[in-house]
Amino acid sequence: MALYFAKSTNGFYDSEINRALPKDAVEITPATHQALMTGQSQGQVIQADSTGAPVLAAPPAPTTAQLEAAITQAIQAEIDATAKAHGYDNMNATAKYIGFANPFQAECIALATWCAACWQQAYAYIATVTAGKNPMPTPAEAVAMLPAYTAGTAGAPA
């Protein structure tokens, strides 16, 4: 059995399984393959060096779009967790109680108002990032910047 790595596919091949190999395949040892798999499982990426041999490297920095998506997910998760802490499945579930008189209406209006304040603040901060005035926050930093929800304050940030 022989193991190979091909730069063209960034893939591994086993001579006992793969009858045809890419033209740029280079043979590697089982120990090298194991070390590469271990590094990859710990967050590193496998790429070819100048000779075509596989090496471990730090992953590329996330793109602005990836960071914005992660921030959006983290903020929505925080908003949904707050709604859930008040007995609702998520923030969207509060909407069904807002449009008519019922025992949950005031609380749901307060939650929805707070939710809107969170997104308004988040988008305003992202605009300052886009303008080059502030650094892009991590998802945890973005969540930490959100206004606090205080029940009974009609959603006014604390």
For the segment 58-64, the average pLDDT, to the nearest whole number, is 91
pLDDT at 158: 37
By C-alpha distance, which of 67, 53, 66 is closest to 6?
53
How do the domains of the chain map onto residue ranges?
3-57, 64-144
Say if residue 16's pLDDT is above 80. Answer: yes
Note if the pTM is more than 0.85. Answer: no
- Asked if pLDDT for residue 156 goes beyond 80, the answer is no
pLDDT in tens, 124-153: 999 999 899 999 999 999 999 999 998 765
Mean per-residue pLDDT of the chain: 93
Q: Are 74 and 119 in contact (CB under 8 A)?
A: no
Contact 83, 121 (CB under 8 A): no
pLDDT band at 96 (very low <50, low <70, confident <90, very high): very high
Q: Quick one: pLDDT at residue 152?
A: 60
